[in-house]
Amino acid sequence: MGDRDFPAGEFGANGPSAARIYHYLLSGEPILEVDRLHAEHLTRIAPHGGVLAQHNRNFLQRAVTYMAERGVRQFLDIGSGLPTAGNTHEVARAVAPDSRVVYVDYDLEAVHRSHDLLAAQGALGSATVLEADLRDPKYILDHPDVARLISHDLPVGLLVVAVWHFVPDSDRPLEVMATLREWLPPGSCVAMSHLSLDDVDPDFRARAVAGMAEYNRVVTDQATPRTRAAFTEFFDGFALVEPGVVYAPDWRPTTAPDLRPAAVPDLRPAAAPDLRPAAAPDPADVARQGIFAGVAIKP
Ligand SMILES: C[S@@+](CC[C@H](N)C(=O)[O-])C[C@H]1O[C@@H](n2cnc3c(N)ncnc32)[C@H](O)[C@@H]1O
């Protein structure tokens, strides 16, 4: 199969999904053969995809650690994806074993796999996963499992990491964000990241644009990059913590491996992916500029 002839629309509901493509880029584990084929096809067009995914995942882990070290003990992780090494509950529990987590995704494979992992770890009492759509925040916030695991009297750690680029302006993402912000108790934290083509060098831009066009041609979750200014609007009403909105690898980088040891038994069947700070194929690491990230506090 050449670079330009990956069939679009042939797979219907069984076509590549954002959750499964991202999982493959991170872990090398294809859920469906079509994911492997499409991810490899994409990687030929834009070879930085895997590094970008790893930068993003490492940011998520550092942000969860930051929140847990601030005392946050309850997390709402929307668009949580398929479980992979260093999931939110594992990272949070490495700091605070009593941390509670509600995962949310609209991808059924992500929901089922997350449920299976939590069940295998005996963690379903203090963590759960909902099948829900970020664009219907009231359904999520009013869900009985959210009430069961998240006290409205205590700060919450909200994660919407690498998800907003799947929500086009026509779905009013800033209104969704305002609903989430109003619901969050004072002192809560939010961590978000977003694909962007700002600042990228011309070669990377050409590859990234081509990769995104190809992605959107085949994957049902259409991705729309936003500028840094547009992404920063999602933090309106919050106080950004230092260093503000920056590229994901620049958000409080650590020299230690980002993957925290799990505080619960690791029963994952797949080989553990290496999520240490990304070893970029290119020493200039152009992919570091592909995704903005930030963490903020609700006053
Ligand atoms: C790139 S993955 C990010 C996973 C995880 N947050 C991370 O950063 O490692 C994006 C996830 O968002 C989910 N997603 C996209 N749009 C969504 C929506 N409207 N509601 C719920 N989940 C959504 C996808 O199914 C996918 O699992």
β-strand pairing of 246-247 with 291-297: antiparallel
Q: Report the atom number in ligand 1 closest to the C-alpha of 110.
A: 27
What is the CA(102)–ligand 1 centre distance, in A?
A: 14
Is there an atom of ligand 1 within 6 Å of 105 CB? yes
Whole-model pTM: value is 0.88
**φ, ψ dihedrals at 287, nearest 5°:** -70, -15
CB atoms near residue 107 (< 10 Å): 22
Mind listing the pLDDT tens digit for each residue in 237-255? 999 999 999 999 999 987 5
Q: What is the largest CA-CA distance in the chain?
A: 56
What is the CA(89)–ligand 1 centre distance, in A?
A: 17
| Rounded CA separation 279/295 (Å) | 24
Confidence grade of residue 284 (pLDDT, cut at 50, 70, 90): low
Is there an atom of ligand 1 within 6 Å of 194 CB? no
Mean pLDDT over 173-179 rounds to 98
Helix axes 33-45, 202-218, angle to 10 degrees: 150
Q: Which of 23, 166, 295 to mutate to test the pocket of ligand 1 (most atoms within 8 A of CB)?
A: 166
Is there an atom of ligand 1 within 6 Å of 80 CB? yes
- Measuring from atom 9 of ligand 1, which residue has the nearest CA? 57
Mind listing the pLDDT tens digit for each residue in 47-88? 778 888 999 999 999 999 999 999 999 999 999 999 987 999
Mind listing the pLDDT tens digit for each residue in 124-173? 999 999 999 999 999 999 999 999 999 999 999 999 999 999 999 999 99
pLDDT at 271: 37
CA dihedral 71, 76, 82, 85 (to 10 degrees): 0
Distances (CA, A) of 222 to 59, 71, 89, 151, 169: 23, 36, 28, 34, 12
Is there an atom of ligand 1 within 6 Å of 235 CB? no
Mind listing the pLDDT tens digit for each residue in 4-19? 455 544 545 567 889 9
pLDDT at 241: 98
Q: Which of 105, 112, 138, 169 to mutate to test the pocket of ligand 1 (most atoms within 8 A of CB)?
A: 105
pLDDT at 12: 52
pLDDT at 276: 40
Confidence grade of residue 267 (pLDDT, cut at 50, 70, 90): very low
Domain boundaries, the chain: 12-261+287-297
| Rounded CA separation 213/216 (Å) | 5
Fold (topology level) of 12-261+287-297: Rossmann fold (3.40.50)
Confidence grade of residue 287 (pLDDT, cut at 50, 70, 90): low
